[in-house]
Amino acid sequence: MRGKRRAVIAAGFLAAAVLWILPGESRMTGIVTTAEAAQAEIRSGSAISTVQDSLERPGNGSLRLDLTYSEGGAVKKLEGGSIAIYLAAGTTQQDGDRKYDVSSGKFASVLEGSGIARMDSETLGRRNAALSEALEKACGQVQPDAVSNVEDGNAMFAGLDPGLYFVRQKKESDGGRRIISFLISVPDAEGRMEVTAAPKLGFIRETPDTAEPGTNRGSSSGGRLPQTGQLWWPVPVLSACGIALILTGEAFRKKAAVRRRKKEGDRNRSSAV
């Protein structure tokens, strides 16, 4: 009797040991319950959201301009001058999508009605030149958000809030070169807050243009563009000559008519005799 009792007690201890080991084994082999998996997914999603929010927090953006160009087969770096950036529109989140808010920028009166809030990156790229031209005309009295000197082919802007920025040359660089003004988003289309851009370069001239480096800068006569269209000074000269020819022709016609009538009169007198 005593032996049976000991056997039962031993079996109970063995069963308890097995029940204690199995959960540990399941954790060691990576087996988790559905509830544990759901909790892990929630924790993972929250971590991603937290990281994304921290990346796009105010003052966490930067913009670097790569200001190198090719001339005569050699790569050169822009030097001297300065570049300014202006916040054209802030950003808001709507239905999980990032939208531009022109009311928080410095050109609300210019960009209002442009539809920029609904533009994706592709549409903004197509309209970049036209929008930048309008902002270039409007930024005369607007103070930039940041100014960077051009050094060793670079211009750097740090501590930027998320938004759409207008970038323009404030002071021309060495050799009369300048960047062509443009709009750029921070973060970029890939969601990166550290943005790098390589703007097009042109020349400072009395008549602004978008000539690429290495193109003909025109004559040295005060920045005037070379004549490429029709000359208008011959028009009045040719018009005067045409009028003179018409008047001369009319005079000859009248003289011929007088001679014809005189001959007819002489002929009638002769026949009457």
Dump pLDDT digits (tens) for 168-191: 999 999 988 999 999 999 999 889
Handedness of CA 188, 190, 194, 198 (dihedral sign): negative
Q: Over 80: is that where the pLDDT of 125 sits?
A: yes
Q: Residue 165, SS3? A: strand
| Rounded Cα distance, 111 and 94, in Å | 20
Residues 174/186, Cβ–Cβ less than 8 Å: no
| Rounded Cα distance, 267 and 127, in Å | 84
Which pLDDT does position 192 carry in this prediction?
93
For the ranges 34-43, 99-108, 186-195, which has the lowest average pLDDT?
A: 34-43
Strands (DSSP E) contained in 135-176 are 146-149, 154-160, 163-171
Per-residue confidence band for 13, with pLDDT thresholds at 50, 70 and 90:
low
| Rounded Cα distance, 92 and 118, in Å | 12
The set of long-range contacts for 122-131, using a CB threshold of 8 Å and a minimum separation of 24, is 124/183, 124/185, 128/182, 128/183, 129/182, 131/183
Q: Which residues of 63-73 are buried (b: 16+ CB within 10 A; e: fewer)?
A: bbbebebeeee
What tokens appear for 193 in the block?
């807050």
Under DSSP, the state recorded for 98 is E
What tokens appear for 58 in the block?
């105010």
pLDDT, one tens digit per residue, over 200-225 is: 988 754 334 444 444 333 333 333 33
Which pLDDT does position 48 carry in this prediction?
35
- For the chain, how long is the longest CA-to-CA vector? 186
| Rounded Cα distance, 123 and 140, in Å | 27
